[in-house]
């Protein structure tokens, strides 16, 4: 079983407002992400937020540590609930590739252009915990991918990454 995890704990400083609630073609980025993962996963959670259209979890070990802390929270939940892996995405990617679990399987694997989009076996909790607890380490998704031996998957058309209002405006009308 695969647990879907929308990593939504960022401050969205470049965006200028709560990016997760920004609307694209009449739907929030958060709702779009939850709905997309729901098509592939048995259950979906949202990390880093207290209110969402799916169950929420705080980042682990604490907030303000980037997407890696959201993934760690999801891996902890997945282990406690007997899931085999976590399929993760950021709240700011409205156009995930079709067949994403198949593209990334077997994990560990992530998109080379956006490692926040990945398939992570629950056993990687043994890699992510020490990484996040070590203040001398860089807490990046690329570093975690490297330490976990993840395959970096190239895709012909990398998904959009909504970081600024202009990115959202440029993508308006292009999504399904």
Q: Could you report the per-residue pLDDT of 100-145, keeping only the tens digit for each?
A: 999 999 999 999 999 999 999 999 999 999 999 998 988 899 999 9
- 28 part of a folded domain: yes
Mean pLDDT, rounded, of the chain: 90
Q: Hey, which residues does 28 pair with through a beta bridge? A: 23
Q: Read off the pLDDT of residues 48-88 as tens digits, 9 standing for 90 and up.
A: 999 999 999 999 999 989 999 999 999 999 999 999 999 99
What's the pLDDT at 174? 67
- 91 part of a folded domain: yes
d(CA 89, CA 100): 10
**Which of the residue ranges 59-63, 152-156, 164-168 would you say has the lowest mean pLDDT?**
164-168
pTM of the model: 0.92
- 94 part of a folded domain: yes
- 51 part of a folded domain: yes
Query: What is the span of the domain harbouring residue 10?
Result: 2-171
| Ordered DSSP codes for 129-167 | HHHHH-TTS---HHHHHHHHT-EEE--SSPPP---SHHH
> Residue 144's domain is classified under what CATH number?
3.90.550.10
What's the pLDDT at 9? 79
Residue 164 has pLDDT above 70, yes or no: no
What's the pLDDT at 16? 62
- 176 part of a folded domain: no
User: Percentage of the chain surpassing pLDDT 70?
Assistant: 91
- 112 part of a folded domain: yes
Q: Is the dihedral of CA 118, 10, 45, 26 positive or negative?
A: negative
- 23 part of a folded domain: yes
- 141 part of a folded domain: yes
Looking at per-residue pLDDT, the higher value among 95 and 121 belongs to 121
Report the candidate in 83, 82, 79, 96 with the shortest Cα–Cα distance to residue 7: 96
Residue 6 has pLDDT above 80, yes or no: yes
Q: Read off the pLDDT of residues 12-47 as tens digits, 9 standing for 90 and up.
A: 556 566 777 678 788 888 999 999 999 999 999 999
Q: How many domains in the chain? A: 1
């Amino acid at each position: 079983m695969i647990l879907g995890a929308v990593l939504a704990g960022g401050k969205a400083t470049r965006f200028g407002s709560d990016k997760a609630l920004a609307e694209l073609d009449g739907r929030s980025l958060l709702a779009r992400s939850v709905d997309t993962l729901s098509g592939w996963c048995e259950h979906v959670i949202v990390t880093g937020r207290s209110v969402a259209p799916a169950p929420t979890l705080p980042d682990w070990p604490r907030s303000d540590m980037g997407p890696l802390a959201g993934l760690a929270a999801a891996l902890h939940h997945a282990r406690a609930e007997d899931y085999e892996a976590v399929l993760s995405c950021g709240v700011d990617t409205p156009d995930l590739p079709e067949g994403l679990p198949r593209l990334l399987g077997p994990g560990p694997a992530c998109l080379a252009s956006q490692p926040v989009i990945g398939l992570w076996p629950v056993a990687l909790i043994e890699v992510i915990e020490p990484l996040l607890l070590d203040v001398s380490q860089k807490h990046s998704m690329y570093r975690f991918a490297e330490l976990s031996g993840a395959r970096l998957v190239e895709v012909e058309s990398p998904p959009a990454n909504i970081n600024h209002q202009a990115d959202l405006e440029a993508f308006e009308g292009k999504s399904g």
